[in-house]
């Protein structure tokens, strides 16, 4: 690698990490949901809670259309456009008072920008890095995004003590990130159009994909993993929405304490992500079970919380479960989907990740009511999720034990054939 190439790689790496730092900007409203509910008594609390999840509508839209956009515009152009949407949708609610429908519309605009911000790091890594270098940078992208989330939530907690509208100004940080990234990105950086042309599937692959039925491309177990990802990420959104509600309604603390609990969740997720590789290598089959147990215990702590400590412990345990669950399921989806459809299977999983946050407010209240729980009281939804992940833990344990026995039997047959 020439000195110029190495320098460009470093510059691109820093640009990617700067972009990643602000790509979860919707998280800043997590600690202030209770403040908004208190300030807007004329609106349904469930509707107000969707302020946290509505950006995912825009994120899904631009994530699904990013390939189309990237074939027509350079990464630098997309970054500028994303920043305009980010600032417009992020800051506008500061001037809208208590007009919740208008704020929700602005949050969708914010999501359109965030969708591009979330896609850019992945695209830039694919275009400019390979092998271990690319994999390592992908890991640091998650760390940078998590650190950004911690920063947003911490600042939001303190600003909420003054006026929750001020939290919306946090979106202005995207301008700084955009300027720095534009300075760092070399003007001759590969375009996403070049990467798209290089990654087009062959006609043979298209024909092979078309020849398979839906069930051959995506076996039932893949669909089960999709459902689990949908449920799990919805549960993370539930924590973001309800942490401040539980803490303030039960007198455990203020928005600052809610931000602290969410930061513990994020920090534990960073730690779990760093050690994921080593753990997955040693406990491949049992890690989804362990993650489901962590999630179940976390939701029990949150559902039966009698003090701030229990909320923090629950948030932390859920932070550990998050990367283990999602990363494990993505690995398993790629393993069990048909090879020609593995990429599509993972893309669907990504769309479900974001879509679940938006749809949570529509299906979860009905599901809670069905089993006699009250979705609006803050803690009951956590108990509902504890039941779900208790069932999933048992299912994963049965699957892991069954798979282990099958591998042992296959190994014995190879060792002692008759």
Per-residue buried b or exposed e for 351-385, using 16+ beta carbons within 10 Å of the residue's own CB? bbbbbbbbbbbeebbeebeeeebebeebbbbbbbb
From the candidate CATH numbers 1.20.1250.20, 3.40.50.1440, 3.40.718.10, 3.40.50.300, the one assigned to the domain spanning 1-194 = 1.20.1250.20
Q: What is the DSSP letter of 416?
A: S
Count the helices and strands in the chain (H runs, E runs).
18, 0
Q: pLDDT tens-digit profile of 248-274?
A: 888 888 878 888 888 898 888 888 877
For the chain, give every domain's residue range: 1-194, 211-401
Alpha-carbon span 317 to 296, nearest angstrom: 9
Alpha-carbon span 365 to 239, nearest angstrom: 15
Residues written for the chain: 418
CATH 1.10.3720.10 is held by the domain 211-401 = no
Task: Indicate if 211-401 has the same CATH topology as 1-194.
Answer: yes
Mean pLDDT by 10 residues, the chain (418 residues): 64 91 84 87 87 86 79 88 95 92 94 89 77 65 82 86 91 94 75 49 57 81 90 87 84 84 86 73 78 93 91 92 79 79 71 79 87 85 93 89 62 50
Alpha-carbon span 93 to 115, nearest angstrom: 19
Question: For residue 107, what pLDDT is reported?
Answer: 94
First CA to last CA across the chain, in angstroms?
54
Q: Quick check: pTM over 0.85?
A: no
Residue closest to 346 by CA, chosen among 199, 237, 226, 220: 226
Question: For residue 139, what pLDDT is reported?
Answer: 65
E strands, 177-317, where? none
């Amino acid at each position: 690698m020439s000195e110029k190439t190495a320098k460009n790689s470093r510059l691109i790496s820093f640009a990617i990490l700067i972009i990643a730092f602000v790509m979860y900007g919707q998280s800043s409203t997590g600690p202030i949901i209770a403040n908004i509910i208190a300030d807007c008594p004329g609106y349904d609390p469930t509707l107000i809670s969707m302020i946290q999840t509505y950006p995912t509508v825009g994120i899904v839209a631009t994530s699904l259309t990013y390939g189309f956009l990237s074939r027509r515009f350079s990464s630098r152009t997309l970054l500028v456009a994303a920043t305009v949407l980010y600032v417009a949708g992020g800051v506008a609610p500061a001037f809208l008072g208590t007009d919740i429908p208008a704020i929700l519309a602005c949050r969708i605009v914010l999501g359109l920008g965030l969708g591009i911000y979330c896609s850019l790091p992945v695209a830039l890594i694919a275009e400019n890095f390979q092998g271990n270098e690319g994999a390592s940078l992908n890991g640091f992208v998650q760390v940078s995004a998590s650190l950004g989330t911690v920063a947003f939530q911490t600042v939001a907690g303190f600003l909420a003590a003054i006026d929750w509208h001020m939290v919306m100004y946090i979106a202005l940080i995207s301008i700084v990130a955009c300027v720095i990234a534009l300075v760092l990105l070399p003007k001759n950086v590969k375009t996403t159009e070049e990467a798209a042309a290089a990654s087009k599937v062959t006609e043979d692959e298209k024909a092979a994909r078309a020849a398979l039925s839906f069930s051959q491309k995506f076996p039932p177990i893949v669909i089960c993993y999709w459902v689990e990802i949908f449920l799990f990420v919805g549960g993370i959104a539930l924590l973001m929405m309800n942490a401040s509600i539980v803490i303030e309604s039960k007198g455990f603390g203020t928005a600052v304490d809610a931000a602290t609990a969410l930061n513990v969740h994020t920090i534990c997720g960073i730690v779990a992500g760093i050690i994921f590789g080593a753990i997955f290598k040693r406990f491949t089959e049992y890690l989804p079970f362990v993650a489901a147990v962590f999630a179940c215990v976390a939701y029990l702590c949150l559902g039966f919380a009698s003090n701030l400590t229990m909320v923090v412990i629950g948030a932390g345990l859920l932070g550990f479960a998050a990367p283990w669950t999602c990363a494990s399921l993505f690995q398993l989806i790629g393993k069990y989907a048909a090879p020609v459809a593995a990429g599509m299977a993972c893309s669907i999983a990504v769309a479900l990740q974001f879509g679940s946050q938006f749809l949570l407010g529509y299906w979860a209240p009905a599901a809670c009511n069905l089993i006699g729980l009250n979705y609006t009281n803050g803690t009951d939804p956590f108990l509902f999720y504890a039941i779900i992940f208790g069932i999933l833990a048992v299912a994963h344990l049965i699957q892991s034990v069954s798979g282990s026995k099958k591998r042992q039997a296959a190994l014995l047959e190879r060792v002692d054939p008759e």
